Amino acid sequence: MAPIAVGDSLPDGTLAHFDSEDKLQQVTVHSLAAGKKVILFGVPGAFTPTCSMQHVPGFIERAEELKSKGVDEILLISVNDPFVMKAWAKTYPENKHVKFLADGSGIYTHALGLELDLSDKGLGTRSRRFSILVDNLKVTVTNIEEGGAFTVSGADEILKAL
């Protein structure tokens, strides 16, 4: 399956997260993105070095700037269970804007065409590292990494596109 591309419609799918009252919720991507400008970014795994020290912190640190340029939602997805995503989110107490969403079975990542087979590293099928800018469910920017690289999918690259 080809990766999602500029001009495509963002597929719908169900992801899990813990709400502000610490209740596990199922949420659809379209409910979060319809009628909005949204950044959807994905990482290979919670608590992994590049994801934890560079990719996620970049979006947290630049969130106010992104919002000032019209971004309504910043959504992080990872092929992890919601309990892992909750624990990972707690390691960023300064975070006010990035929503940590679990794609536990990788079904949504598959719908995006962004799976990454890390079986040889003992991680199974995960997500490629990426960032996508979406305006009212239409993809306007795709920054998709190859392998384990972190060169084009950070917050700075999205800011350049806004």
Alpha helices in the chain (DSSP H): 29-33, 49-50, 56-61, 63-68, 82-89, 107-112, 155-161
Tell me if 41 sits within 8 A of 113, measured CB to CB: no
Q: How far apart are CA 35 and CA 2, in angstroms?
A: 25
Residues pairing with 43 in the sheet: 78
Report the alpha-carbon angle 66-29-116, nearest 5. 85
Just list the catalytic residues: 51
